[in-house]
């Protein structure tokens, strides 16, 4: 097998607020054309709320009711807790270490807020939200929801006490992720001790990237990736290594490209302009259900 090398290391973009509860760096789609939706497909959006302290608040901060169609939202909680609800009846609390995997598909209304007790106490908040594209044949399938608790994730202890790899989706060695996906997707948390390393292998054509959540790492003993930076790999080669310069947490993503047209506007990601127009029409006609703000 050949080495998969880093193609680009991206500095965290200037953060902005989504609602009043999520202070995010938007990596995908990025200002750099290299990070457009088609290049990173099936990962068509990545917002990263780097560690940020929210003071106590009686009114939970967050994002009010908004629609989605044509993709899945994946929220990974590293610090803090999020309460969420959608018009298909899904909802709950995403605790630290847990993941919410919501298939919007044919359309849902959704809202997300800091969990009430976390909001009252305040504290560090750190989250990743990904949008995972759906193939055309599944874009209008029924919405569904997967609540993935940390204890349900497959976990692999690395040799020499180097740390562990948590498997949200896909597999790592013999461990499988709890998430059910429409196309092949790998989503892993590598939790490495200082000096520890992990090896990864994905098909050469898969779109592959990593986000350094904590610490600093070195990829293939050559490329330094600091905290909160994002690295995209070339679509050549299969294997790469990640070594921790200090205690580190790294989100590793790899997915089979969905080689179909993308027509995206706001909260809708379809294949054609006509499908986008229909999505807005359906939303305005109340066909996404009802959700109280």
Tell me the mean pLDDT per 10 residues along the chain, length 293.
96 96 96 86 98 97 95 97 85 93 95 96 98 98 94 96 98 96 98 98 98 98 97 97 98 98 97 98 92 78
Instruction: Give domain 6-255's CATH architecture.
Output: Sandwich (2.60)
Phi, psi of 263 (to 5 degrees): -120, 110
- pLDDT tens per residue, range 64-96: 999 999 999 999 999 999 998 888 777 789 999
- Dist. CA 215–CA 125, nearest whole Å: 17
| pLDDT attached to residue 34 | 80
Burial of 72 (0-12, 13-18, 19+ CB in 10 A): buried
Phi, psi dihedral angles at 34 (to 5 degrees): -65, -20
What integer pLDDT is reported at residue 32 of this predicted model? 73
**pLDDT tens for each residue of 176-213:** 999 999 999 999 999 999 999 999 999 999 999 999 99
Instruction: Report which DSSP code applies to 283.
Output: H
Q: Are 30 and 11 in contact, with CB atoms under 8 Å apart?
A: no
Radius of gyration of the chain (CA): 18
Domain borders along the chain are 6-255
- Taking a C-beta distance cutoff of 8 angstroms, is the pair 269, 71 a contact? yes
Contact (Cβ atoms closer than 8 angstroms) between residue 244 and residue 195? yes
Which 3 state secondary structure label does DSSP give 148? strand
Q: Which residues pair with 252 in a beta bridge?
A: 188, 210
């Amino acid at each position: 097998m050949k080495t998969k090398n880093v193609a680009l290391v991206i500095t965290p973009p200037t953060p902005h607020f989504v609602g009043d509860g999520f202070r995010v760096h938007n990596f995908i789609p990025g200002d750099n054309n290299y990070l457009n939706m088609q290049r990173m497909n099936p990962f068509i959006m990545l917002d990263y709320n780097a560690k940020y302290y929210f003071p106590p608040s009686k009114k939970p901060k967050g994002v009010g009711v908004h629609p989605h169609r044509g993709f899945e939202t994946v929220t990974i909680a590293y610090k803090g807790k999020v309460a969420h609800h959608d018009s298909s009846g899904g909802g709950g609390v995403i605790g630290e270490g847990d993941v919410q995997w919501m298939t919007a598909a044919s359309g849902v209304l959704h809202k997300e807020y800091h969990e009430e007790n976390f909001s009252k106490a305040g504290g560090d908040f750190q989250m990743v939200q990904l949008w995972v594209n759906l193939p055309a044949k599944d874009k209008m399938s029924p919405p569904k929801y997967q609540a993935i608790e940390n204890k349900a994730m497959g976990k692999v202890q690395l040799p020499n006490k180097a740390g562990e790899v948590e498997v949200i989706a896909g597999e790592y060695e013999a461990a499988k992720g709890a998430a059910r996906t429409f196309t092949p997707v790998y989503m892993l948390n590598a939790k490495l001790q200082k000096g520890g390393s992990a090896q990864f292998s994905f098909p050469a054509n898969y779109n592959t990237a990593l986000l350094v959540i904590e610490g600093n790492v070195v990829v293939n003993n050559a490329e330094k990736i600091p905290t909160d930076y994002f690295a995209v790999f070339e679509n050549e080669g299969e294997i790469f290594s990640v070594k921790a310069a200090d205690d580190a947490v790294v989100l590793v993503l790899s997915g089979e490209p969905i080689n179909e047209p993308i027509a995206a506007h706001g909260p809708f990601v379809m294949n054609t302009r006509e499908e986008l127009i229909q999505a807005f029409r359906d939303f305005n006609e109340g066909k996404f259900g009802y959700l109280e703000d």
